[in-house]
Amino acid sequence: MAALNSSSRERSSALVTTFDLSTTPLREVNTALHAPDLDGEFVIEHPAGAHNVAVGLNAPVTVTVGGHVGYYAAGMNQQAEVIINGNAGTGVAENMMSGSVWVKGNASQSAGATAHGGLLVIEGDAAARCGISMKGVDIVVGGNVGHMSAFMAQAGRLVIRGDAGEALGDSIYEARLYVRGDVASLGADCVAKPMREEHHLELEQLLKAAGFEDDDTNAYTRYGSARTLYHFHVDNASAY
């Protein structure tokens, strides 16, 4: 493998390695981030919308991306903390297992799709299908989400500080949705539910983790499954 164009320095007793994607191939950067016993902090400069940045990480490291990224950034993340100082394309944090992914800008469609765990924070807006088929991840969106968000969401929590598009939570299972703004329409089997004390506490903790601790949880509505589609019933055939 060719030598990486990187620099290292000491910061808070942790080794910081910087990669420049304008001079170093992404394949080499991702290979370096998959090294055994990976440790320290990493910075990726000049991503210029590249796809598959920092994918498949499986180490308790911090990776900061200095700009916009394309498709599937930080996909399949485990343990790592990934910070994207820009916008993210389709499928950011897709199939994430643990760790955290923090998008400082907006995210395109399918953010956090199929993710099993960890925390995804999008400070701006998220497009269609945010949290589609989520399986245990926590997602906090600072702005709005597009249509079909949380479609077939099985487990986890989705917090939306702005508005939600059409068909929110369509065919939802046991995920919990918290929305502060307006919802254009609810999908099949998704209904508004009461906010009990446990939900206020849960929401408060999620907002604090995402840096939005000043929000009043009383301003949010909880949505979840009406549980009418768990088993096929002929009277509900049109909803399947």
Q: Which amino acid is it at 233?
A: H
Q: How far apart are CA 50 and CA 72, in angstroms?
A: 10
CB 220 within 8 A of CB 195: yes
Q: What is the pLDDT of residue 229?
A: 76
Q: What is the pLDDT of residue 123?
A: 98
Q: How far apart are CA 4 and CA 14, in angstroms?
A: 19
Q: What is the pLDDT of residue 228?
A: 85
Q: What is the pLDDT of residue 84?
A: 98
For residue 207, the SS3 value is: helix
Q: What is the pLDDT of residue 238?
A: 65
Q: What is the pLDDT of residue 11?
A: 40
β-strand 135-141 against 119-122: which pairing, if any? Answer: parallel
For the chain, which domains are there? 9-239 (2.160.20.60)
pLDDT, tens only, 18-57: 999 999 999 999 999 999 999 999 999 999 999 999 999 9
Q: How far apart are CA 20 and CA 32, in angstroms?
A: 13
The rounded average pLDDT for each run of 10 residues, N- to C-terminus, in the chain (240 residues) is 38 74 97 94 98 97 98 98 98 98 98 98 98 98 98 97 98 97 97 97 98 97 90 62
**C-alpha 18, offset from chain centre:** 24
- Note the pTM of the prediction, 2 decimals: 0.91
Q: What is the pLDDT of residue 13?
A: 42
Q: How far apart are CA 45 and CA 50, in angstroms?
A: 11
CB 123 within 8 A of CB 148: no
Q: Exposure string (b/e) for 104-126, b if CB count within 10 Å is 16 or more?
A: bbbbbbbbbbbbbbbbbbbbbbb
Q: Which amino acid is it at 192?
A: A
